[in-house]
Amino acid sequence: MVNTNIADRYFRLERAMKIANTVRSFETPESLAVTGLKICFGDFRGPERPDYDLSDWEPLSDGDDAYGGANTYFWICGTLTIPEAFDGKAVRLYVSTDQNGWSPSNPNFIVFLNGQIVSALDRNHTELLLTPSAKGGETFYLACKGFTAMRDCHAKFSASLKTYNAEITRLYYDIRVPVEVCSFLDDGDHAKKEMEYLLNEAVNRIDLAEPGSPAFYESVRAAQRYMDETFYGDFCAREPDVFAHCIGHTHLDVAWMWPMRQTREKTARTFANMLKFMDEYPEFQFMSSQACIYNWVKNDYPELFERIKEAVKAGRWEVEGGMWVEADCNLTSGEGFVRQFLYGKRFFKREFGVDCKILWLPDVFGYSAALPQILKKSGMDSFMTTKIAWNNHDKIPYDTFTWRGIDGSEVFAHFITCADYWNARSGNSFTTYNGHLNPNQMMGAWQRFQHKDICDEVLCSVGWGDGGGGTDREMLENGRRLAKNIPGAPSVHWGFAGEYFTKWRERLHDNRFLPKWVGELYLEFHRGTLTTMADNKKYNRKSEFLYQKAELFAYMDSLFLSGAYPKEIFDKNWETILTDQFHDILPGSSIREVYEDSARDYAEILADGGAIVDSALGALAGAVSTSGLSVVCFNDTGFDRRTDVCGISGEYGVLAADGRRLPAQVSGGQTLFLAEDVPAKGYAAFRLTAPAASDKAAVQWDGTVCETPFCRATLTADGEISSLIDKASGYELCAGGQTLNRLAAYVDRPYNHDAWEVAPYYTEQAYAPETVERCALVENGPVCARFRTVRTYGRSTITQTLVFYAALPRIDVCNEIDWHEDHTLLRAHFPTTIHASRAVYDIQFGNIERETNRNTSWEFAKFEVCGHKWADLSDGTFGLAVLNDCKYGYRCLEGELSLSLLRAPTEPNPMADRGRHTFTYSLLPHAGTFAEGGVIAQGYQLNNPLDGRVTAAHPDGGLPPRLSLVQCSAENVVVGAVKRAEDDGDLIVRLNEEMNRRTAVRLEFARAVESASVVSLMEDETYAELTPDGNALSLTVEPYEIVTLKLRLR
């Protein structure tokens, strides 16, 4: 009987660990320095081959001379020869670079042996097993492809061959792991007292009189027998009551503190190591998400890719996640989300035969309320993150729950709770996706888990991450001991993440205590990512819309004129768009080199997409029946444009179909005109003629007040609006004594994470730009009037042009800003007279309401929130929407809307946002709510202007002067993506409801419908067959529902 009442005044745990460390010093009893290696700098392939000529390479000194530089690739190669003294023994290669610190600052190597990629070496992986049973004189050709770091890094490389004693390693971990478990148990814990006694008994069997002698090794075996039989055999032979379901993992940032080029290497290095560990540890299982990085491996290291496919088939490697990359979930559009899953899931299915079910997003900066429906209709049923635990105001009260989206769709959600034990025990809510398989974090994960009443198992992703790396040997050894049910610690087992989600989703399905979270999962952190690197966000939005436009008109070209549908170009460039939506690229939180790469990406994307549009529109316009010189206006939105502005090069007058002269305004070699009745997803043709001698001006202007058919606006010298009155109702929108479109420059120095954060105290120091050119009328024609103001702030120049329209209620604010500030946030403010407790924000495939007050900490934390094309504040009688063409950071406090325009952080990119910016935001006064005020349509129209193409007379053209491919009867149902189906020539049409209304819809097509069905977003599952009615279809769309139709047109 063990006496557990005596306090451990003998420091038995410390003694056990001291002796275990002494024993471990004999883990590698024999060592031989590797000499004769050679080095060559450059990023190239070939030296991995044993027959590669190294004769002109420089000799590498053994750890004496430093090598490297910043952003430098190099090869170290040579032959390893096993000494005769190592014959029959396990031999490892050990490498040291004398560098410490976080992994992006360390050299990394991908290792080839005898021409085959076998492993990788980095700060956390410093050795590899050459052979479990060496033969004296045996040779290995070693080739290490290295990368220094993005910073200047000079390292000393040394390598050695060492024999390896597995008995020593085994006993070391057998003792160390329970010692660590004890360190987290209370002093009065009965199991802890028992373990102190048993571990002390074990080390008493180790003879340290002559370490390394035969007697020493025999005593090690005796201690091992005691641990096997008494400690793990008898003491741990009990049924565990708590479990840790572990999966090997690495979080690989597609780009961040390094460019994509380096991530391709990081991926290969990490994946090679994980396969190597699978050979050594039969129980080990690993998962990784992101189709993009697998595609890189497929192209760069096809032999490695084939080994991964074999591991997937063998049930050792899990491919999950669904998305092409782990994309930002605030800024990516609804259609961008669809394509993330479409390209991601199709890749995984095609290459691995796997149908992904989990949205795996460990490190993303907030989660849209549109996601549950997108997941469900993409064949996904589960969601995982950890980042939400990084909130800096409130703790999400759930870790395992049902997540409900804006349409009512629900998915099973689980947050990984890996955390250091003492942090979790003290109430710190922080968790990590880069979990370490050790007693500290396994016990911490259970301590941190909030649903012990309904679930006895936590999911832990274990491995080094962000810059790759993955699981290391120490974690694997720890896992073997923690799998033996050590009292006080969760019982560890390896298993796929999918197995965990399936198990607990099914077990908890009918459990009434399973909580539910409704709406967005707002991250109270990293709010600056809604604004940082503005151009990158702008080009993402332009690209998303451009490629939907290109798909629409390329399809119409193919349907009506048998033109080519460039699917390969679409696929290539969609994949690039999706890659650049990664959650450290699109948010603006990467180094400068990353944005130099993305700028090149977007230049190619926009050029290719523009060429496709030009080709399709040119062909279509050339086939339209026209009696004279005409302009064909193309409308890629899902809304009929009763009256909208279209611009073309040249100076013209424009005639409607009935011969009426339409308002047209010639300026600077261009013509703006008011196009009438341009149908959704189609075009309308208008005759061109000579420009009129004079036309009535759009607005009346007395030097202070600008009056249009819609409003009366009083403008200040600064280009701000001190009064805005709706003429129909007499409603004054501007709060008394204030101005709409007030610009403010704030000192923006967050307490940490410069590029990521906007701190709540940023409002403490605000400055107004100085006006250098007072607001002046610069153009006033029959279409619009323009007022220009030039202001300066610091080293920056802000040129704003306010545009008032004769036929549109919108007021555009066109910005040209030459921005050269540091740590400054530029914001536009719109203080109104509207009293409303909630504002409405455009999000993916819908909209959400958020509070305008700060009654709770949850409400306070949302001082910067995401909106896509617009945000709206309405009291039900009247409202104001602020639209934009590339901005995302909104704030609404009581009656004031505001929009973040530019930031200027210095870390990690010292030149973030510096330079020239052009963008537009708009004020849209309206009667009623956003739904009644035409806000949704205007948001699309601002982002997708009419595209006019001048064409010659061709009265025998085969296409009519006005045509719509598809029109929808309901204003609240948006026709979005229109494209060719993925696997055949059928037509895909995507609809979504945006006003939370159940709606009967009639769709009319340009041709008769032969067949139609409702399908999944992935186009691989049919939900319902529809009965066509000639060229029409009727169906019912539920509130906020996304509907994907697959049709065959005659």
Instruction: Report DSSP letters for 586-601, one per residue.
Output: TTS-S-HHHHHHHHHH
pLDDT of residue 672: 97
Interval 47-59 mean pLDDT: 96
pLDDT in tens, 935-987: 999 999 999 999 999 999 999 999 999 999 999 999 999 999 999 999 999 99
CB atoms within 10 A of CB 276: 18
Kindly write down the DSSP assignment for every residue of 33-58, as one continuous string. E----EEEESS-S-TTSTT---TTSE
Contact indicator for 954, 625 with CB cutoff of 8 Å: yes
pLDDT band at 69 (very low <50, low <70, confident <90, very high): confident
Q: Is the pLDDT of residue 435 over 90?
A: yes
Give the integer Cα–Cα distance in Å for 646 and 664.
Answer: 9
Q: Residue 702 is encoded by which pair of tokens? A: 């007395």
DSSP state of 105: G
| Angstrom distance (rounded) from CA 265 to CA 299 | 12
Q: Can you tell me whether residue 951 is helix, strand or coil?
A: strand
Paired tokens of 903: 């930031």
CA distance 134 to 289: 37
* CB neighbour class for 24 (10 Å; exposed up to 12, middle 13-18, buried from 19): middle
Please, which pLDDT band fits residue 64 given cuts at 50, 70 and 90? low
d(CA 807, CA 941): 14
Residue 286: closest CA among 264, 267, 308: 308
Amino acid 859 reads: E
CA distance 365 to 362: 9
CATH architecture of 533-623: Up-down Bundle (1.20)
Report angle CA 509, 511, 514 to the nearest 5 degrees.
90
Average pLDDT score over residue span 621-650: 98
Cβ(341)–Cβ(374) below 8 Å: yes
What pLDDT shows up at residue 698?
83
Asked if 897 and 883 count as a contact pair (C-beta separation under 8 A), the reply is no
Cα–Cα dist 206/218, whole Å: 8
**Strand pairing report for 491-494 and 243-249:** parallel
Q: List pLDDT tens digits, range 116-160.
A: 999 999 888 999 999 999 999 999 999 999 998 777 777 788 899
Give Cα separations from 411 to 22, 400, 523, 995 (angstroms): 51, 11, 19, 23
Which residue is it, tokens 């050299």?
107
Q: Please indicate whether the domains covering 627-695+943-963 and 965-1050 agree at the CATH topology level.
A: yes
Superfamily for domain range 243-511: Glycoside hydrolase 38, N terminal domain (3.20.110.10)
Q: For the chain, what percent of residues have pLDDT higher than 70?
A: 98
Average pLDDT in the 867-896 region? 98
Instruction: Indicate the pLDDT class of residue 5, thresholds 50, 70 and 90.
Output: very low
**Using a CB cutoff of 8 Å and minimum separation of 24, what contacts does 859-862 make?**
860/393, 860/760, 861/391, 861/392, 861/393, 861/394, 861/522, 861/524, 862/522, 862/524
Per-residue pLDDT at 1: 38
pLDDT at 70: 83
- Residue 124: the pLDDT is 87
Phi, psi of 568 (to 5 degrees): -65, -40
Q: How far apart are the first and last CA of the chain?
A: 88
pLDDT tens, position by position, 380-409: 999 999 999 999 999 999 999 999 999 999
pTM over 0.95, yes/no: yes
Hey, what CATH class is 31-164 in? mainly beta
When pLDDT is cut at 50, 70 and 90, the band that residue 600 belongs to is: very high
Tell me the Cα Rg of the chain.
Answer: 33
Prior bond of 691 cis (ω within 30°) = no
DSSP H helices in 398-438: 421-425
For tokens 């129980």, name the residue. 283
**Coil/strand/helix, residue 566:** coil
- Is residue 687 predicted with pLDDT exceeding 70? yes
* Average of per-residue pLDDT across 321-330: 99
Residue 938 one-letter amino acid = Q
Mean pLDDT score, 546-562: 99
Enclosing H/E stretch for 477: helix 473-482
Write down the pLDDT at residue 105.
Answer: 56
pLDDT in tens, 538-551: 999 999 999 999 99
Please give the Cα distance from 396 to 388 (Å, whole number).
7
How far from chain centre, in Å, is Cα 280? 34
How many whole angstroms separate alpha carbon 327 and alpha carbon 583? 5
Residue 569 banded pLDDT, cuts 50, 70, 90: very high
Counting every residue, how long is the chain?
Answer: 1050
Helices (runs of H) and strands (runs of E) counted in the chain? 18, 58
Q: Is 177:171 a contact under the CB 8 Å cutoff?
A: no
Please say whether the beta carbons of 652 and 630 come within 8 A: no
Q: Kindly give the residue spans of alpha helices, DSSP state H, lying in 508-587.
A: 534-561, 567-579
557: left (phi over 0), alpha (psi -120 to 50) or beta: alpha
User: What SS3 state is found at 296?
Assistant: helix
Which residues, including other chains, have CB under 8 Å from residue 836's CB and lie 6 or more apart?
Answer: 852, 873, 874, 875, 876, 879, 895
- Write the CA distances from 799 to 718, 719, 768, 778, 822, integer angstroms: 11, 10, 14, 13, 19
d(CA 432, CA 438): 14
User: How would DSSP label each residue in 188-255?
Assistant: T-HHHHHHHHHHHHHHTT---SSTTSHHHHHHHHHHHHHIIIIIIIIIT-S--S-EEEEEEE--B-SS
State the fold for domain 704-933: Beta-galactosidase; Chain A, domain 5 (2.70.98)
Give the span between the Cα atoms of 765 and 743, in whole angstroms.
Answer: 13
The number of beta carbons lying within 10 Å of the beta carbon of residue 896 is 18
In 3D space, the residue among 185, 174, 167 whose CA is nearest the CA of residue 236 turns out to be: 174
Q: Which of 717, 735, 711 is nearest to 775 (CA)?
A: 717
- Please tell me the distance from the alpha carbon of residue 623 to that of residue 949, in angstroms, as a whole number: 12
- List residues bridging with 948 in a β-sheet: 633
Q: What is the mean pLDDT of residues 828-838?
A: 98
Q: Residue 327 and residue 359: Cα distance in Å, rounded? A: 11
| Fold of the 965-1050 domain | Immunoglobulin-like (2.60.40)
Structure letter (DSSP) for residue 172: H
- SS3 of the chain: helix, strand, coil, percent, to 5: 25, 35, 40
Tokens (6 digits) for 451: 């649903």
- What topology does CATH give the domain 627-695+943-963? Immunoglobulin-like (2.60.40)
Nearest to 442 by CA among 373, 492, 372: 492
Give 3's pLDDT tier (boundaries 50, 70, 90).
very low
- The secondary structure of residue 607, as a DSSP letter, is H
Of the candidates 638, 612, 622, the residue with the CA atom closest to the CA atom of residue 554 = 612
Please determine, for residue 625, whether its predicted confidence score (pLDDT) is greater than 60.
Answer: yes
- Locate all alpha helices (DSSP H) within 361-412, ordered by sequence: 371-376
Give the model's pLDDT for residue 49: 96
Instruction: Kindly state the average pLDDT of the residues 13-34.
Output: 97
238, 571 contact by CB (below 8 A): no
Residue 198 corresponds to which tokens in the numbers above?
């048993």
CB within 8 Å of 228: residues ≥ 6 apart: none
Q: Is a pLDDT exceeding 80 seen at residue 514?
A: yes
Mean pLDDT of the chain: 96
The domain spans of the chain are 12-24+171-235, 31-164, 243-511, 533-623, 627-695+943-963, 704-933, 965-1050
Give the closest residue to 299 by CA, choosing from 260, 249, 338, 356: 260
Coil vs helix vs strand at 494: strand
